[in-house]
Structures are given as structure tokens and as C-alpha cells.
């Protein structure tokens, strides 16, 4: 059986919990159904060896890896506890790619999709329908260096870490005083934050995540917030729906541009349309999500796309 090595940060205290009770159980089952054994590893499990006259080799836990029998899920995680290891992961991912191994997520995508404004700027010639956004570094933060109104942003606003996920760290600020307090709090972790207008259609934050498998939209997650964020892991309500007609072409164009087997494209409902919010190259199908009818099929399609990418890669 081919092996899918999945990098997971060793600094995460969630690793064992998830392995026993949540994500990995469903992931391993979906992988096995496609003929893949899923093995969760850290960067410390990998050794690379190369010489000018021979083929480079990778070893996982001391065992040599056959590039035609193994692929690597190479997602960079960027929450604060993972920051000390970011360079080690990026350099290992790039070394594996250069050594002739199949890496599912290119470092280019790790960089641009882990920063919310970088994502929007990269895609602006594909989809320019997004909210005005201001990126604010907070190390040594003392106050706003620019007026938000100069960037087309009016209060109330949402302020959130530029490189986090799962709806974590998202705050609403009614005025400049509240915004400055949020940014000062973020300065303790030296975070870069993004500020956008607060959008709530009919008084409720609603978003739609379009799942793209093998560069094509296959379904959508309609999420309604319990508070400031609509993420299911944050208490939001969700249902799997058909891809809205007004989002299908937009999501398809983004999936084609990013050229990756699995993608979540998030759109915020503005009341009179949809604003592109962000993209997730590792859009998690959580335990809560898997309880929603139809999501097991989406997860299965994700791993079939991984296997199809690997098959194409090794048949080149």
C-alpha cells in the first residue's frame, strides 16, 4: 500500500487527542479507501541524504522512503506555538520536492494562503470582489499608523490574525478605541493582524465555503455564526449545500489558479452578494463537520484527489 506522510506540528498538544478521537480517525479511513496508508509525522522524523553522484533519499524514522510509493502532505501551520519551527518545515518541504518526492502543497501556496491579505492580492486579477483590508504589524504597537478610512474601511470592523485559522483570534471593534485595544493585545504575540469592515447580512455573519476537489467545485458549506465567526468548531451552524450559481465560476477560477487537489474557498455574505474572504489549502473536515450529512462523501473525494494527483505525478 502507498503511504501518505502527513506532517503535523510536534508542538501541538492536540496531536494525541486528535489521533484518538477526532480528525485522524476519519482521515485514515478515507485514505485507506483509496489505497493509502496515512502516517502522521513531524519534521523531526525526516532525514534527507544526498550526494552529487547519486539520487537523494529521504528517511522517515530511519526507514528509506521510495518516491514512487509515498507522498507527503506539506501544510505549514502558523499559529504562534508553531512559529519557531516554521523555517524547518518550509525547508524540509522544499528539500523533499527537490529530492524528487511528491509534495501535495507547494511552498508558494503555504506562503500566500497563510496570510489573508497576500491571498487576496495574489488573486485580485481572478476575483476582485473582496472587502477593503488593512494589514497591521503589532510588534512594538503604539497606535494606528494610517487612518482606516483612507483604505475604505469604516467601523465597526473585524480584526483577526493574518495567519491563523479555525476562527481563532477574531474580534469585533466598534470604534478606534476598541480596535487599538485589540491590536495592543495582539502585540503580546507580535502578530500581524488584518482589519476589515464587519459584514453581517440580516444581522448575522454568514459565509459559504466552496469545496474544490481536483480543481473543480463539488459542494459548499453554508455556515451561520453563533457569534463573530461562523466556523463549526467555533459553534457555528452549518449545512452541506449545492454550490451557489453565483459562486461556482468564481471558485472554479480560483481553484484553477492555485492548482492544488483540495481547496476550500470562503465567501462572506454581504446581503447583496458575496465577498471573497480567504482560501484554505488544508480546509479541515473536523469531527463536528463529519456529523453533518454528506460530509463523509466530501472527505472521501478529498483523498481520492490526493491519490489521483500522486498517480499523475509518478506516471510522468
What digits encode the pLDDT tens for the residues 234-247?
556 778 899 999 99
pLDDT tens string 271-281: 788 999 999 99
Closest CA relative to residue 45, chosen from 86, 8, 98, 97: 8
Any idea which residue has 506555538 for its cell?
Answer: 81
pLDDT at residue number 32: 97
Cross-strand pairs, 63: 60
CA separation for the pair 315, 257 (Å, rounded): 23
pTM here is 0.89
Higher pLDDT, 81 or 136: 136
Q: Are the CB atoms for 244 and 227 separated by under 8 Å?
A: no
Instruction: Answer whether 2-103 and 134-197 agree in fold.
Output: no
pLDDT of amino acid 78: 83
Q: CA 9 to CA 18: how far, in whole Å?
A: 12
Whether the ω angle into residue 156 lies within 30 degrees of 0, i.e. cis, is yes
3-state secondary structure 102-124: EECCCHHHHHHHCCHHHHHHHCC
CATH superfamily of 134-197: ATP-grasp fold, A domain (3.30.1490.20)
Stronger pLDDT, 309 or 138, i.e. the higher one: 309
- Domain locations in the chain? 2-103, 115-129+202-305, 134-197
Q: What is the rounded average pLDDT of the residues 287-313?
A: 90
Tell me the CA end-to-end span of the chain in Å, nearest whole number. Answer: 20
Separation CA 225–CA 231 (nearest Å): 7
Question: Residue 28: CB partners within 8 Å, gap ≥ 6?
Answer: 38
What is the fold of 115-129+202-305? D-amino Acid Aminotransferase; Chain A, domain 1 (3.30.470)
Helix and strand counts by DSSP (H, E) for the chain: 9, 16
The three cell numbers of residue 135 are 494589514
Q: How confident is the model at residue 12 (pLDDT cuts 50, 70, 90)?
A: low
If phi > 0 it is left, if psi is from -120 to 50 it is alpha, else beta; for residue 89 that is alpha
**Residue-wise pLDDT tens digits, 65-116:** 999 999 999 999 887 778 888 999 999 999 999 999 999 999 999 999 988 9
**Chain mean pLDDT for the chain:** 87
Binned at pLDDT 50, 70 and 90, residue 162 comes out as: confident
Task: Please give the backbone phi and psi of residue 123, each rounded to the nearest 5 degrees, phi first.
Answer: -100, 10
Q: Are 265 and 199 in contact (CB under 8 A)?
A: no
- What beta strand segments (E) does the chain contain? 2-7, 36-41, 46-49, 57-60, 63-65, 70-73, 102-103, 134-137, 157-161, 171-173, 192-197, 206-213, 216-224, 237-241, 262-269, 274-280
Residue whose C-alpha is closest to residue 64's, from 81, 48, 82: 48
The pLDDT of residue 21: 56
Q: What's the CATH architecture for 2-103?
A: 3-Layer(aba) Sandwich (3.40)
Q: Within 10 Å of residue 60's Cβ, how many Cβ atoms? A: 16
| 35-44, 140-149, 214-223: the lowest-pLDDT one | 140-149
Amino acid at each position: 500500500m502507498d503511504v501518505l506522510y502527513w506532517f503535523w506540528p510536534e508542538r501541538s498538544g492536540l496531536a494525541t487527542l486528535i489521533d484518538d478521537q477526532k480528525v485522524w480517525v476519519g482521515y485514515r479511513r478515507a485514505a485507506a479507501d483509496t489505497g493509502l496508508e496515512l502516517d502522521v509525522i513531524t519534521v523531526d522524523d525526516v532525514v534527507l541524504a544526498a550526494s552529487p553522484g547519486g539520487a537523494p533519499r529521504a528517511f522517515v524514522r530511519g526507514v528509506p522512503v521510495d518516491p514512487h510509493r509515498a507522498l507527503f502532505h506539506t501544510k505549514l501551520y502558523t499559529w504562534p506555538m508553531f512559529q519557531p519551527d516554521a523555517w524547518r518545515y518550509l525547508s524540509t518541504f522544499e528539500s523533499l520536492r527537490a529530492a524528487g518526492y511528491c509534495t501535495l502543497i507547494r511552498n508558494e501556496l503555504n506562503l500566500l494562503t497563510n496570510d489573508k491579505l497576500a491571498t487576496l492580492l495574489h488573486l485580485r486579477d481572478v476575483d476582485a470582489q473582496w472587502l477593503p483590508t488593512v494589514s497591521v504589524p503589532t510588534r512594538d504597537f503604539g497606535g494606528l499608523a494610517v487612518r482606516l478610512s483612507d483604505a475604505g474601511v469604516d467601523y465597526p470592523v473585524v480584526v483577526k490574525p493574518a495567519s491563523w485559522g479555525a476562527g481563532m483570534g477574531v474580534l469585533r471593534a466598534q470604534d478606534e478605541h476598541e480596535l487599538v485595544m485589540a491590536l495592543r493585545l495582539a502585540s503580546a504575540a507580535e502578530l500581524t493582524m488584518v482589519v476589515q469592515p464587519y459584514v453581517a447580512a440580516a444581522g448575522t455573519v454568514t459565509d459559504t465555503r466552496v469545496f474544490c476537489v481536483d480543481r473543480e467545485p463539488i459542494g459548499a458549506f453554508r455556515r451561520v455564526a453563533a457569534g463573530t465567526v461562523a466556523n463549526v468548531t467555533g459553534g457555528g451552524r452549518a449545512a452541506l449545500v449545492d454550490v451557489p450559481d453565483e459562486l461556482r465560476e468564481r471558485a472554479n477560477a480560483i481553484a484553477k489558479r492555485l492548482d492544488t487537489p483540495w481547496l476550500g474557498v470562503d465567501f462572506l455574505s454581504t446581503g447583496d452578494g458575496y465577498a471573497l474572504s480567504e482560501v484554505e489549502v488544508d480546509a479541515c473536515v473536523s469531527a463536528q463537520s463529519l456529523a453533518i450529512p454528506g460530509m463523509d462523501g466530501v472527505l472521501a473525494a478529498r483523498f481520492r484527489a490526493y491519490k489521483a494527483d500522486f498517480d499523475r505525478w509518478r506516471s510522468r
